[in-house]
Amino acid sequence: MRIAEMLARGRPTVSFEFMAPRDENEVAVVERTTAALAGHAPDWVSVTYRKATGHKTLELVTRIKRQYHIEAMAHLTCANTADETRPILNWMEREGVANVLALRGDPPGPGEAFVPADPHFQHGSDLVAFLRRSGYRFGIGAACSAEKHPESPDQAHEFRYMQLKVDSGADFLITQLFFDNRFYFDLVRRAKEAGITIPIVPGLMPVPSRRSLAFMAAMTGASLPPDLARAIEEAPDDDAVRALGVRHCIEQCVELLEAGVPGLHFYTFNRARAPMEILASLRGQQLLTA
């Protein structure tokens, strides 16, 4: 089923992002996480992609679909050429994968440049357009930023690229993680003013530790509300930081759900505990159905 159809039902969806295992040592971790979170009845999930281990993305997507009967979306990036991308898409079609998240892909690390494999695949919008004109029937998701991405000169530049993804044929958008809902609400307002009508799903991540937070902030440009930043700075250890992160994410979700968001998408980093705690709280408050 296409994810855009789920988002149009009028009930907020719950979804998780899993990271495809990089090696055999990570397989057991991913399997435990997917099993734990599959038990919380997500509407759909997504699986990250790396060129070097792309087959593991495809294996995990098909396993989730077959074992748990959950719609699983494969990420696809501009790390491949068009000729390398077509066989991947053909394989997805044969295996019944219904949705693709079309992304440019991350640079090797903070402050480093992304180098495309194909001059025709410079941006995520190029991959969206390729999927549309090639005749594939996938539902197509794309990414956007609630805040300014580190590589963008300003938010206007960021918004133009989001608009281009929509114009190229994206069915829905998922934001990069953010910790201040004001950025999301402002993005949705500007999108409506620009005539963008496709769903914009908020992407959320409970802060797991100071180290993880620093890395993700550098990669995505996400900023912390002053109160949260101060509380994390004063926290005695990472257990306290994690608890603060869960509590703040619950507060974010409550406000987002009350505002009528189309869904909640959680970046799990292959950790099940925090998303499970957040969902338990939201369902306990009857903000989400089980």
Taking the C-alpha atoms of residue 122 and residue 5, their distance in angstroms, rounded to an integer, is 29
Residue 17 known to be catalytic: yes
DSSP class of 2: -
What is the 3-class SS of 212-281, one letter each residue? HHHHHHHHHCCCCCHHHHHHHHHCCCHHHHHHHHHHHHHHHHHHHHHCCCCEEEEECCCCCHHHHHHHHH
Which one of 17, 71, 147, 158 is the catalytic residue? 17
Taking the C-alpha atoms of residue 203 and residue 151, their distance in angstroms, rounded to an integer, is 19
Q: Note whether 183 and 149 are within 8 A (CB).
A: no
Residue in this structure with the two tokens 């998240």, named with its chain if needed: 101
Cα dist from 206 to 104, 179, 200, whole Å: 24, 9, 19
Question: Which sequence positions are flagged as catalytic?
Answer: 17
